[in-house]
Structure formats: C-alpha cells, structure tokens
Amino acid sequence: MENEKQEQLNPWLSIWSEPRATIQQVVDGDTNMMVLILAPLAGIASALTRNSGLAYSGLENFLGLVVAGGIGGYVIVFLGAYLVRWTGGWLGGTASLSSIRAASVWSSIPAITSAVLLLLLWVVLSQLSGPVAGMEVAAQLMILTLGIWSFVLTCKCLGQVQGFSAWKGLANMLLSLTVVLVPILVIWAVVAALSS
C-alpha cells in the first residue's frame, strides 16, 4: 500500500519529465480529469501566445482572444479527438476518445504555462515607465521553447494512449492534419481555377 502511494505522480509536475507514465496514470484513473478546464485554457494559451501583440494592445482585444481561444480550445480538443482516433485506427491505434482528449489537454501544460508567464510579464512591464531591452526577444524565446516541449509531450502522450511510439504518435497527428488540409486545399484550388 505504501509503495502504491509513493508511485502516484503529481500530473501537474510529472507531465514535464515523465509524460508517458503521467498520461497512463491519468487514463487509468479518471480519463476526464480536468479536460473541461484544460481544453479552453489550452485554446486561450494558443490565442494569447500567437497574437501577443494584439492581446496586449487593449482590454477589448485581450478579452476577444480569451473568448475565441476558449471556444477554439473546446472545438480542437473534442473534434480533434475524433480525427486522431479515426486516423490512428489506420495505424493500429486503440485509444478511446476520452484518452485522446486527456493526452491532448495534459500535454498542453507547457503551452498554458507560457501564456501564464507571458501574462505575468505583461503585468510587470506595464508597471515600468519604459520598454526593457531584449524583453520581447526573451518572451518569444520562452513561448517557442515551451511550445516545442508541449508538441513533444503531445507526441509522447498520444503515442502512449494509442499504443505507439512517440514517432508514430507524430505520424498520427500529421495524418489527422492531412485529412483536414488536403480537402481544403483542393477546394481552394478548384475555386481559384474557376474564378480566373
């Protein structure tokens, strides 16, 4: 019993260094744990870090990005799970929709962290009288680094729930994107050809 308690991971911390063990613990327990909270936070983080100039140009823009990001987070996590499950099945994946959603949201913790740090930085900088040299470059480097780590965690977590390696998890994600992008590009090319 004591060994079992020692083996329990704190998912908020362990996801950073032990993503496979962490997501396995999550799906072995409550697969839906925190999904409804982390999904919109992931979307908001993405909206704020990708549009940081717009986000901090005024309260209206900031709130607009928060609302759009929150809604987008739900859409991407919930609809994306269907695509990932469908295309993952082609590769032999066996994950349930709830496991894929859990892998998606828990692997977004670094991206969410970057948005929180960016908000804190914005608050600190708003209290200063002038710009701080190199701060924008440092912020962008932080966003990039945590974004890359979030992507790596997504490959590992998706691979774990699907029964894949991280590389096959990456292939599963790319295949899902391809299924969405190819029809869009074909329709765009047809419309462009017909309009010229």
User: How many independent structural domains does the chain possess?
Assistant: 1
DSSP string, 78-135: HHHHHHHHHHHHHTT----HHHHHHHHHHTTHHHHHHHHHHHHHHHHHHTSSS--TTH
- For 55, the domain range is 2-195
Q: What angle separates helix 19-28 from helix 97-106, to the nearest 10 degrees?
A: 140
- Using the predicted structure, report yes or no on whether residue 3 has a pLDDT greater than 60: no
Q: How far is CA 188 from CA 76, 100, 128, 174, in A?
A: 22, 30, 47, 20
pLDDT in tens, 95-125: 999 999 999 999 999 999 999 988 888 877 7
Nearest to 87 by CA among 186, 162, 185: 162
Q: What is the pTM of this model?
A: 0.85
Q: Which residue has the tokens 């469908």?
A: 86
pLDDT in tens, 131-159: 666 777 888 899 999 999 999 999 999 99
